[in-house]
Amino acid sequence: FNEENLPVTWRAYSLSVISMLMYSGLYLIIPFLFDEDEKTLLDLFYTVLIELPAVLVVVSLIDKIGRLPIILIGTVTSMIAVFIIWYWRARYLLLGLVAFKFFNRMTFLSFTPLVLESYSTLYRSLGIGTTIASGRAAGFLSPAIILPLY
């Protein structure tokens, strides 16, 4: 943890852990939610297609509003989408999943340039490894948190 990069590092770690927790937890329960609402694989395909417009939005906005604001917007709106899926379940399941995938993809697409521009090679390689490890650890814990909610 370099003092110069400490504020960016903690924000990146926090948002990475939150995003990975939501992503892993949601994709753990999607088969059950789709089964309850009688959705098909075509509906799941729509959630994957929405990632293409997310790429275009990030590419057009990344230099205008910055990397951290896009990451923050993506994380907060992903959390809102997860709440919508949890609270209204079947009624807004597909809409919530599409919104979640769109904003979560924005978050992860903005992490790469942020890391590349903020750190030297040594800190970049150490940081990417620890961020991915901490994010995956949060994803590993997500079943213990998410399954009791459903």
Task: Report mean pLDDT in 10-residue bins for the chain, 150 residues.
Answer: 72 78 78 78 84 91 88 88 82 84 88 76 75 74 68
Say what the pLDDT of residue 146 is.
65
pTM: 0.73
pLDDT tens-digit profile of 39-76? Answer: 888 888 888 888 899 999 999 998 899 888 888 888 88
Q: How far apart are CA 128 and CA 125, in angstroms?
A: 5
